[in-house]
A and B are shown apart, each in its own frame.
Chain A
């Protein structure tokens, strides 16, 4: 049993404050973390590994050299090894180019029985890379997974949808993207962290994946970002103080009526 977990390094957004005038995030350059849902994916891989003798977990990331840190984080949390796809050729990739690189790396890591990933990353928030990797590997995919049961070589999976939960059965190899509900990852001990710091992380370039430069990065990406702008974030807020609750409630009732929702 070989489990590959896709992990991504993202900017920390949790405790960030907004610049109210510009509507942008205030954060320092060093605040990069492992994508929170990928922590859940790692924890789930490690949980499944514990059920199966001789299972191994490989964490796979694409990103700058600094993304080694998220692989070490994954190792501290129980992954056996990490592989980093890094180099200039990968830069500027959209989900199509990213999934091409990741799928090629997973093929190189074969045999692979299970691929796990966070449902989406907090930076791009597309949730597309997982299913695209699955398409390229011809694996079935289940997204928004909140429960995995391993039963005699078959995965019984529960995914969260808008109004409930769908239960699906898949036979590996398969790719699952997970949501936060699946488990509660515990931070690793200092000892494990120190051990993970010493882990060698191999870096694979395009030549290792037998991919041409024009299949990767911006050149291999069908989409182009043509404009980035600030949304209308700061609204014209009508504020009512503590002594004005009655008039505030009147205003709210007026709004509810005008909007036909009451």
Chain B
């Protein structure tokens, strides 16, 4: 595997701009590159030139801008094609992308074409000192175990990492780096992007929110679930729902947290009237600080909570909303 060197990250993009999760990737990428005494590059596909210097300030030694203006980040096929081609040319040892709906689609396509190993949804990446191999750690079986995975025999070693599993890279405006533009002939596939519809029920993006307030069946009714939305409102938090609540129709599927929904890792997670089935815990147990409100002191949710409130969520949640309001007004 001689001849493979360097760490490459794939910039996450939204509407032609660099998405902030890219700065988390740069943080990880910089640490890995330093451990390997090598360079960090960042691949931007299709975006404009506006945000590129920022990537250098955040740790990139080299930025590749592929097909500016002629390709959108939306279609996985062409994006994966361009990424695969760049990897073949530049031969990095490690490639890291965000475990988002785009990263989790583009990177497997590239890995299969390159016949190399890929580990999904890592929460930790490091370099094994003796072997210099990438150690990729991820939750498995609904978050009940952690597994560390290596890619010993093929290159590059590829991984997607969970958003919010690392703080953004610090900004250093004295850093220097190079920006390289490349345009590949685009193989337009049989896919066509038609449009984007914003999820109006999500005032705050669940997976980017610092705080998530989730309601479970213990909220008793659609009116009870409204109390959860009100608390989220005053906190500027994302609104989460358990599978049971989505099945009852109190919240749309886009709010579902758990194995068959979204995974979140906010700074504070408040679970109100949530019993804590494994299916749900899998989607939230890596949150920094977990608060559980439930009338059953034996509820599983308390096992993963930092702060447990035994009592009726229908009473406690509105009280909390009022207290947060008061606190904000006092400032």
Counting CB contacts under 8 A, is A134 at the interface? Answer: yes
Counting CB contacts under 8 A, is A110 at the interface? Answer: no
Which B residues lie within 8 Å of A162 (CB)?
Answer: 100-101, 205-208
Q: Give which listed residue, A126, A143, A233, A240, contacts B144 with CB less than 8 A.
A: A233
Asked if residues A167 and B196 are in contact (CB atoms below 8 Å), the reply is yes
Asked if residues B297 and A239 are in contact (CB atoms below 8 Å), the reply is yes
Q: Nearest Cβ in chain A — how far from B246, in angstroms?
A: 8
Within 8 A of A (CB), among B257-305: 259-261, 267-268, 277-279, 281-282, 285, 288-291, 297, 300, 302-305
Which A residues lie within 8 Å of B207 (CB)?
Answer: 162
Counting CB contacts under 8 A, is B211 at the interface? Answer: yes
Q: Nearest Cβ in chain B — how far from A65, in angstroms?
A: 22
Interface residues on A, range: 35 or more
Q: Give which listed residue, B117, B145, B205, B256, contacts A230 with CB less than 8 A.
A: B145
Q: Nearest Cβ in chain A — how far from B11, in angstroms?
A: 16
Q: Mark B50-87, 1 if CB is under 8 A from A, else 0.
A: 00000000000000000000000011110010000000
Looking at the complex, which of A49-57, A153-161, A205-213 is the stretch in contact with chain B? A153-161
Given A18-B144, A96-B116, A132-B108, CB of A226 within 8 Å of CB of B149: yes
Given A122-B142, A163-B202, A261-B235, CB of A156 within 8 Å of CB of B305: no
Within 8 A of B (CB), among A231-250: 231, 233-242, 245, 248-249
Asked if residues A255 and B309 are in contact (CB atoms below 8 Å), the reply is no
Q: Mark A6-42, 1 if CB is under 8 A from B, else 0.
A: 0000010111111010011100000000001100000
Asked if residues A255 and B105 are in contact (CB atoms below 8 Å), the reply is no
Counting CB contacts under 8 A, is B185 at the interface? Answer: no
Which A residues lie within 8 Å of B261 (CB)?
Answer: 180
Asked if residues A131 and B210 are in contact (CB atoms below 8 Å), the reply is no
Counting CB contacts under 8 A, is B223 at the interface? Answer: no
Counting CB contacts under 8 A, is A94 at the interface? Answer: yes
Asked if residues A169 and B277 are in contact (CB atoms below 8 Å), the reply is no
Counting CB contacts under 8 A, is A195 at the interface? Answer: no
Given A170-B190, A242-B311, CB of A163 within 8 Å of CB of B109: no
Q: Nearest Cβ in chain B — how far from A116, in angstroms?
A: 16
Q: Nearest Cβ in chain B — how far from A183, in angstroms?
A: 11
Asked if residues B303 and A131 are in contact (CB atoms below 8 Å), the reply is no
Which B residues lie within 8 Å of A13 (CB)?
Answer: 141-142, 259, 278-279
Asked if residues A249 and B323 are in contact (CB atoms below 8 Å), the reply is yes
29 contacts between A and B (CB under 8 A): A16-B278, A99-B112, A123-B140, A123-B141, A128-B104, A143-B104, A144-B105, A161-B100, A164-B196, A164-B199, A167-B195, A168-B192, A180-B256, A180-B260, A227-B147, A229-B148, A230-B144, A235-B304, A237-B303, A238-B306, A239-B302, A239-B308, A240-B309, A241-B297, A245-B311, A249-B319, A255-B289, A255-B291, A262-B327
Closest chain B residue to A20 by CB distance? B303
Looking at the complex, which of A70-78, A81-89, A196-204, A217-225 is the stretch in contact with chain B? A217-225
